Structure formats: structure tokens, C-alpha cells
Structure 1
Amino acid sequence: MRSLRYLAVLGGLLLPLIAGYAAAAEPLAKTLFGSKTLPSATAPQSFGFYSKGCLAGGVAIAVDGPHWQAMRVSRNRRWGHPAMITLLEKLSREAAQDGWPGLLLGDISQPRGGPMLTGHASHQIGLDADIWFTPMPNRRFTTNERENVGARSLIKDGSLNVDDRLWTPAHAALLKRAAGYGEVERILVHPGIKKKLCDTVTGDRAWLEKVRPFWGHDSHFHIRIGCQPGSDGCKPQRDTTPGDGCDGSLAWWFTEEPWRPNKNPDAPKARDIMTLASLPRACRQVLEAPSPVSEAAVTVGGPRYVATMPATANAFLPTPPGREIPVPWPRPDP
């Protein structure tokens, strides 16, 4: 009996170690998803949460469009749910009415979503996109410039406030335009940019509810849309707090607490330990699904592009003929 108890105790000690070794031996999810150069040739669906999931049937936005240019093209992060790509095209066209000459697009998602080798914690399910605060120039960037030209911060050096020499009414109009779309649930900006909006926006302020302060986001803003029809495995983010957000939740960002140095900077980030087993079960099928015949078959937009694309579009059909047209402290929920 004593030996049985000894074996039971020993087993209880060894099993977690064995499981830990097995998990360590499993390839990291960021490696698996980061190695995919094309999406799955399946219907578009988002699985899991924005920071823990994957994307099936993604489509890519063209490197160049009438009112946008994609930056950092070598990262291969121009992919998203068709609804997101449609939204970016629409925003690029309609923002011209507000005096914005065109969008410089940052990262959206990888071809099959999932955690990235570097950078973002979110952007995993094709429903997030970054847009630079730098307006598009009246020429096309070279390949080299797309990789090396930087987005300029709107925050004054050494402060948490907007540099008034750089801020323009067109920046506010662009954010208002983006927030006005029903599918957009959140727009993340630097706290100083949120404060600038709170201090200067007059008249209709309802759209400010969607604009949330968050670390970074001083040189770009982050658009997040909600889970789309047909994505039953998508986990939504909870609703934003009602109101314009120009209250104590914003004041918190201008205290010392959110900006203290990380007490444990060497702690691994979630993407550095996340394995495929950590993601929704469907993500394994997403990884194993066949690819479309080429990137061209799943790239929409461009100098000749479809003005609108239904969210139900099949991600691997050829594009129809075009028509000219780290956080260790409690914080307010973004």
C-alpha cells in the first residue's frame, strides 16, 4: 500500500513535468502561422479572439489602390476578412471627402491569421487593421521606401500630449469617418490623441465612444471591427463603456501608473509560448487546408478594382473584372 501511495505521489509530480516537456516540444503557433504565405482556400471565417485565434479564407488588399498604399509589404500582413478589406477600401475613398489624400496601410493580418512572429498581440483573426496618421503622398513609394519610411508620431517629444504643429482638422475628420461605420467597434489611439479629441471636438461627440486610449498608437490608429456573420467560432470583445470616454478613465492615462517600467521585462510574451493547442481547435484545420492557386486569385483592389465586395465573397475565387472607382497593472478596458 505504501508503495502504491509513493507511486501515486511520484506520478503526480512527474505528469506536469512530462506535459511541460511535450508542450515545449510542440512548434510555436507563431512559427506555424508565420510560415504560411497564402490563405486557406475556404469560406471566410474568424476563429477565436482578436489576440488568440486564426483566419480562414482571408483575402489580401492590393499593394496599391486609387486611394491607398500598403506599407511594409515584405511582412505579408495585408490579409484580412473580406469585410475588413471592403471597409478599408470604403474608408480610403470616402476620407477624400474630408480632405484626406489617401491611406497608408500598416498591418492587417497574416494569410491565415494567428499569432505573429513579431509585433502585435492581436491582429489574429482578420478583423484588425493599422492605418498611419501620415497622409498618403501624391506619388507612389518605391519598394525600398515602403520598407523603411517611418510613420511620424503626433505626440510631442517627452510628453503625452499632441504636437499642435502636426495635428490637423483632417486627422480628427478621418477618425470620425472611421468611427462612423457601423461595423467598427473600436479605434485605438495614443491617450494624448484621445485627449486632443476630447478637448476640441464640438457638436456630435457620440463617435468618441469608439475611440479608445491605448499604449503606442501615436503614429497610427488601430481599427477593429466586430465578428462577422458566418463566423460562429469568433469571440467578440465586450462592449465599450457608454459615453465619450473623456472622464476618469482617460485621466488615468495621465498618471504615473500606466507608464511605470515593466518590473519583469524578460517575461515571455504570449506569442512566444503559444502553441497550436492553445488556439481554437478549428485553427488546426485552417493550417492544414489547401491554398488557392496564387495570391492574385485572392487579392482585391488596385488601380482597377471592385468598388464594393460582399462580406460573403468566396475568398479563393478570382477577382471579378474591375471597374474604375506589455501590461502589468490594472487599467480601463480599451
Structure 2
Amino acid sequence: MNRRLLLAPKAPALLLATWLTVGVAGSALATPWAQVKAPSEGPTQAIGGVANGCIAGAQALPAEGEGYVSIRRYRNRFYGHADLLHLVRDLARAQARRGPGLVMIGDLSQPRGGLMSSSHRSHQNGLDVDIWFLRAPSAATANRDTAHQPDPPSMVSADGEGVSALWGDDQQTLLKAAAVDPRVDRIFVNAAIKRELCASDGDKAWLHKLRPWFGHDAHFHVRLRCPHDSSECKQQAAIPAGDGCDDELDWWFSAEARTPAKKSAAPIPTRPEPVTLAACQPLLSTH
């Protein structure tokens, strides 16, 4: 998850808990996990949580496949659990059947997971993936336009109140396909996009998994449930019941949510990095 973070003092308790668990963008961190260039051998195991974990025996997502292209591969963040790779392929194939264009797949995890040096505090145990809303006409175009460049265009209007003219059936269909998949635990998406979907007619049960979060206007962040083969995976707390089209969503459009906290003269305390899990230590010592 990337982009700005604006935490209000009265933000719902669930959101604060999510921030502590999921993580945010920040300055570059010195992390040994970013120095690991290849996955470990052996069976695939998601270990720990999304913000303090790792992955053993990770699988690499190919650079291209039916209906998708993996972008920004210079980051070496295209590894994950087999369930995650299967999900990406399934979503991309479904979109390919709808028409031309490739789904752009962003960051998954590093070769052995763990903390990244930039952009994410989550994506650590091979169960997270960023998927761009805008499809690319070709793999060459996608790689050219996203290499060391700003994100693709936003799906949210300039005032942040609704969706932009780019939002359409293709984006909603892709998002819904991910949300209804039983492997998916939750999806982070801009609040304006969720509000647009809440205002639409028809079934809203699938909106339950859509969690509003800052940024996420050009892409959505998919997180899987802990796989059955990963006994040391730490499942995130369950999402509250309901479609989420309620007061919690309204808060994201309040003055409180949109007003950055005032700068203080006092130095901001440094949040200590979580201690590497014992089960993850061997993955660092054998690379």
C-alpha cells in the first residue's frame, strides 16, 4: 500500500488497528530482505502476518501471461504463494475473455517476503498483490509507461468525491471478480470508489470485502486468506459484518478525514520495526 497517510485523531478504532497491521508508505528503510535475490527451496509456506512475516518456497509470477503483464519487475517484487499466482491468472483470463487489453499487475512480495525498503509495510508473507484498474494495450506499452514513472491515471475525480470519467464496467467487473473469489480476504480501495459502488443498484453483498483506504485510486490491493498449507500464517482479524456502506464510509468524506494533522514542534517518535519472527530467521541466513 502506498501514497500519503492522513490519520485523524478520531478515526474509527478499526482503521487505526488496520494502520498498525497493514502499514503505510514511508522513507526508504535499510532492510536485509530487499537484498535477497531468490526464493528459498522447499514447499511454499506463508509465515506470520502481512506486516511482519515472510514466505518460504515462494513462486515467481511470469512477466506475462494470458490477459496480464507484470510491471516494474526491476523491484524484484513478483513472488508469492501459489494461491496468489493462481488468483492473478484467473482474474486475468476472465478479463481477457471480456475484450482486448492487459491487466497490469504490480507488487506482490520479495523473493522471501519480509519488509521492503520502500512503498509497503505489508506485502510481507506472499498474500498481497496490487492490481491496476487501467488496462494496457500491450506489454511493451505497460512496461514503457510504468518504468520509473508516476502511477497510471486515477479513477477518482479531482475533488475526491466520486469516480472519474475513466471508471467504467471494466474496472467494476475486475474489482468484483476479485471480491467474490473465496480466496480473497479483503481488498483496499479508495473510499470514493466504494461510495460509487454503494450508490449503485443491485447486489451489494460483495462490497463487504472492500475496505476504504487512502490512495488506492489507480489500483486496488488484494489480500488473500491464510492458505490451508501454511500453519504458521497469521490470519488478520475478520472484517465487520455488512456491506460497509454506512457511517464508517461517510467518515472518509468528513472534514476530519481530509484535514492533515497539524505539525508539531515536538519530534515524531520513531516506530520500532517489528522483530523478525523466529520462523523467518532461517530464510535470511541461507540466501
TM-score by length of 2: 0.83
- TM-superposed CA distance for 1:125, in Å, is 0.5
Q: Which residue of 1 aligns with 2:280?
A: 283
Counterpart CA distance in 2 for 1:139 and 1:36 is: 27
Q: Which residue of 2 aligns with 1:184?
A: 184
Kindly indicate whether the alpha-carbon contact (under 8 Å) linking 1:59 and 1:80 is maintained by their aligned counterparts in 2. yes
SS at match of 1:188: strand
How is 1:167-316 mapped onto 2 (pairs within 5 angstroms)?
167-200=167-200, 202-263=201-262, 267=268, 273-274=272-273, 278-290=275-287
Q: Deviations over 1:110-144 (max 9, x none)?
A: 11111110011110100000001111214533754
Q: What percentage of aligned pairs have identical amino acids? A: 37
Counterpart CA distance in 2 for 1:257 and 1:226 is: 32
- Higher helix proportion, which one? 1
- Structure 2: 5+ residue runs without aligned partners? 1-27
- TM-superposed CA distance for 1:63, in Å, is 1.1
Counterpart CA distance in 1 for 2:195 and 2:47 is: 34
Task: Kindly provide the amino acid, as one letter, of the partner of residue 187 in structure 1.
Answer: I
Q: Alpha carbon RMSD of aligned pairs, Å?
A: 2.2
SS at match of 1:230: coil
Counterpart CA distance in 1 for 2:64 and 2:268 is: 39
Return closer, same or farther for 1:41/1:180 CA change in 2, 3 Å cut-off.
same
Counterpart CA distance in 2 for 1:81 and 1:268 is: 35
Counterpart CA distance in 1 for 2:42 and 2:263 is: 41
Q: Which residue of 2 aligns with 1:154?
A: 155
- TM-superposed CA distance for 1:102, in Å, is 2.5
Q: Which residue of 1 aligns with 2:76?
A: 76
Kindly indicate whether the alpha-carbon contact (under 8 Å) linking 1:41 and 1:289 is maintained by their aligned counterparts in 2. no
Q: Deviations over 1:27-70 (max 9, x none)?
A: x9852100011111121111111111111111111111121111
- Structure 1: 5+ residue runs without aligned partners? 1-27, 291-334
Higher relative contact order (CA 8 A, sep 6+): 1
Bigger Cα Rg: 1
SS at match of 1:136: coil
Counterpart CA distance in 2 for 1:142 and 1:99 is: 17
Aligned length: 257
- TM-superposed CA distance for 1:192, in Å, is 0.3
Counterpart CA distance in 1 for 2:29 and 2:62 is: 27
TM-score by length of 1: 0.72
SS at match of 2:48: strand
Counterpart CA distance in 2 for 1:286 and 1:175 is: 34
- TM-superposed CA distance for 1:160, in Å, is 3.3
Counterpart CA distance in 2 for 1:157 and 1:251 is: 18
